[in-house]
Amino acid sequence: MIKRKLSLRSRIFFFMIMLVVVASILIAAVTIIQYKDQSQDYHRQRLERKEAQLISSIDYVLKETTLEVKTENLFLIFKDKIYDIANIHNVSFNLFDLKGNLVKKSKPSGNENIIIDNYLSDDVLTQLNLSASKRYVEKNKYLGGDYRSSYIIINDRDATPLGILNVPYFDDDSLNYGELNEFLIRLSYAYVIMILVAILFAYFVSKYITKSLQTIRDRMKGTSLEKNNQKIELEGASLEVSALVDSYNSMIDDLEDSAKKLASSEREQAWREMAKQVAHEIKNPLTPMRLSVQSFQQKFDPDDPKIHKKVEEYSKTLIQQIDTMSSIASAFSNFAKMPAQKLELLNIVEAIELTLEIFPDSDIKFIPQGSNISVNFDRSQLIRIITNLVKNAIQSIPPKRTPKISIVVSSDDLEVIIVVKDNGSGVTDSIEGKIFEPRFTTKSSGMGLGLPMIKNIIETYNGSISFSSIIGEGSEFTIRFPKNN
C-alpha cells in the first residue's frame, strides 16, 4: 500500500492549527493549576490566621486566670472561656494535654459536624514533637483531602508546654470551583473564536508561503532540454525561496548552454553520419564504373568490327551508374531539406484517390469515412506520404501471397486519422525501434530515408505516426495530425 504524503501547504496548515490547539490546552491546564495553587494558599493562610487569633486569645486567658497555669488545670481554666473564644472568632477548636488526651472542646458533644477522638494518635504526637515549629497539619484520610487538622503546642509565660491546640479546618472550594468553571466556559468561547481565526489565518499564510513554491514547481515541471525555458521572477519572496529561484535560474542558464552544446554536437554527428552514408552510397556505383572503364581500356580495339556495339553497351553501363548516383543525391537532398510548405484547404479523400491511381495493378482498397474531409495541408507532401507508405506495403508482401492493402481515412472534431494496413511479412521486434531511423532499411536496395522523411513531414504539422505489426500477418501504420495547423 502506497502512503500518500501530505503537501507542504497541508503540513503548514495542520501544524499551525495544532499549535493553537496545544497552546489552548496548555493555557487551560495552567489556569486550572493556578486556581488550585491559589486555593491551597488561601486555605493555608486562612488556617494560619485562625491559629494566630486563637493562640492570642488563649494567651490572654492564661494571663488573666487566677488559677495556677499548668496542664492539670487546663480544663478548669477553659471550662467556660473556650466557648467565648469560639464565639468571638467563630472557630471551633479543641484542647488536648501533652499526652494527647482530650481536655476540652469548644462545642458540646453531638453538636459538631466532625467527630473528634478523645485522644491523639501516636503518629500525630511524634510528628508534633519532631517539628521545629511545634506545629503539625494533618489531612484526614477518611474525610478526604478537603478536611485538615492543625496541632500546635501552647506554652505558658515561661515557654513551658501546657497542652496542644487542635483546629479542625474544612477547605470549602465550592465558590472557587464555581468561578473556575465560569472562567473556563468563557475561555472556551474565546478558544473557539481563536481557532476559527487561526484556521483562516493558517489557510491564507500556507497559501502565501506555498504560492512561490507552486510557481517554481510549475516552471520546473515544464522545463525541457528541447525548448526555450523561461526564468522565474518573484517579488517579495523570502530569502529561502529567493535562493531557490536563483538556483533554478542558474540551472536554466546551464541547461541552455548544455542544450546548445548538445545540439551542436548532434548536428556535427548527424552530418558525419550523413557524409559517411553519402560516401558509401556513391562508392557503390563508382566501383562498377571503374571496372567498366578498366575493362574497356584493356579490350579496346579500333579495328574490331563490333567496336560500336561495345561502346554503346559501355555507355549504357556508365549512364545507368550515373543515374543511380543522381537518384542518391536527390534522395539525400530531399531528406536533408524539406521544401517550403504550400498549405491549401485540401480534400484528403480526393487527394488520396488521385495518388492511388499510379498503382493500377495493385490490390489496394480505399475506405474513406466520408466524402469530404478537409484540412490545411501541402498536396505534394501528402502525395509523398501516401506513396511511400503504399510502396512499402507492396514491397513487404511475399511473392506468393495475394496482396491485401487497405487505406482508411477518418476524422473527428480535432484531427484526421489515416491508417495504412497490409498483409505483408511484418516487422520483427528487433528492428521495431529502428524503423524510423535514417539509413535503416531491410531492403536489398534503397537508402532507408523514406519513413524518416515522412515522419519529419508529419511532425512539422504537429502530428504523429505509429505502427503495429504481427510477424507473418502484416503491419499497420497510423497517421494523426490536427485539422487546424
> Which string of DSSP letters, residue by residue, matches 105-164?
ESS-TTSSSSPPPSB--HHHHHHHHH-TTSEEEEE-TTT-TTEEEEEEEEE-TT--EEEE
Residue 447 pLDDT more than 50? Answer: no
The answer to whether 450 and 436 have CB atoms below 8 angstroms apart is no
Flag whether 186 is in a domain.
no
CB atoms within 10 A of CB 176: 16
Domain CATH number, residue 467 = 3.30.565.10
- Cα angle value 300/301/307 (rounded, 5°): 85
Flag whether 206 is in a domain.
no
How confident is the model at residue 289, as a pLDDT? Answer: 65
Separation of alpha carbons 200 and 37, rounded Å = 36
- SS3 assignment, position 406: strand
166 shares its domain with 26: yes
How confident is the model at residue 445, as a pLDDT? Answer: 42
Spell out the alpha helix ranges (H) of 304-449.
307-336, 348-355, 379-396
In this structure, of 109-113, 215-219, 333-337, the range with the lowest mean pLDDT score is 109-113
The answer to whether 223 and 255 have CB atoms below 8 angstroms apart is yes
At residue 478 the predicted structure's pLDDT band, cuts being 50, 70 and 90, is very high
Q: Average per-residue pLDDT in the chain?
A: 76
154, 176, 198: which is the final residue of a domain?
A: 176
What φ, ψ does residue 403 adopt, rounded to 5°?
-65, 135
Residue 383 pLDDT more than 80? Answer: yes
Range with the largest mean pLDDT of 99-113, 231-245, 353-367, 451-465: 451-465
At residue 240 the predicted structure's pLDDT band, cuts being 50, 70 and 90, is low
CA distances from 10 to 5, 163, 203 (A): 10, 72, 9
384 shares its domain with 450: yes
How confident is the model at residue 343, as a pLDDT? Answer: 78
163 shares its domain with 71: yes
Domain CATH number, residue 283 = 1.10.287
352 shares its domain with 326: no
386 shares its domain with 328: no
At residue 200 the predicted structure's pLDDT band, cuts being 50, 70 and 90, is confident
136, 161, 176: which is the final residue of a domain?
A: 176
Flag whether 15 is in a domain.
yes
pLDDT (tens digit, 9 = 90+) per residue, 99-151? 889 888 887 644 445 556 688 888 888 888 888 888 888 876 554 556 778 89
How confident is the model at residue 287, as a pLDDT? Answer: 60
| Mean pLDDT, rounded, for 176-205 | 80
Residue 242 pLDDT more than 80? Answer: no
Flag whether 396 is in a domain.
yes
In this structure, of 147-156, 199-208, 262-271, the range with the lowest mean pLDDT score is 262-271
Flag whether 201 is in a domain.
no
12 shares its domain with 156: yes
How confident is the model at residue 250, as a pLDDT? Answer: 77
263 shares its domain with 379: no
pLDDT (tens digit, 9 = 90+) per residue, 61-108? 888 888 888 888 888 888 888 888 888 888 889 999 988 898 888 876
Range with the largest mean pLDDT of 99-113, 184-198, 210-224: 184-198
Flag whether 251 is in a domain.
yes
pLDDT (tens digit, 9 = 90+) per residue, 157-174? 888 888 999 988 876 666
Residue type for 102, please?
A: L
CA distances from 465 to 255, 360, 419, 451, 472 (A): 29, 26, 10, 10, 22
Indicate the Cα dihedral angle 158, 154, 110, 146, nearest 10°.
Answer: 170
In this structure, of 256-260, 263-267, 332-336, 359-363, the range with the lowest mean pLDDT score is 332-336
CB atoms within 10 A of CB 106: 23
165 shares its domain with 32: yes
Give 17's contacts (C-beta < 8 A, 6+ positions apart).
195, 198, 199, 202
CA distances from 124 to 72, 130, 368 (A): 21, 10, 113
296, 320, 336: which is the final residue of a domain?
A: 336
In this structure, of 62-76, 328-342, 453-467, the range with the lowest mean pLDDT score is 328-342
How confident is the model at residue 42, as a pLDDT? Answer: 81
At residue 360 the predicted structure's pLDDT band, cuts being 50, 70 and 90, is low
| Cβ neighbourhood burial of 96 (10 Å; 0-12, 13-18, 19+) | buried
110 shares its domain with 170: yes
CB atoms within 10 A of CB 253: 11
Separation of alpha carbons 185 and 191, rounded Å = 10
Flag whether 444 is in a domain.
yes
DSSP β-ladder status, 147-155 and 135-139: antiparallel
350 shares its domain with 316: no
Domain CATH number, residue 42 = 3.30.450.20
How confident is the model at residue 375, as a pLDDT? Answer: 86
Range of the domain at 377: 343-482
404 shares its domain with 323: no
Flag whether 221 is in a domain.
no
DSSP β-ladder status, 161-170 and 94-96: antiparallel
Separation of alpha carbons 324 and 329, rounded Å = 9
363 shares its domain with 406: yes
Separation of alpha carbons 14 and 87, rounded Å = 63
DSSP β-ladder status, 147-155 and 364-368: unpaired
- Number of folded domains in the chain? 3
Tell whether pTM > 0.85.
Answer: no
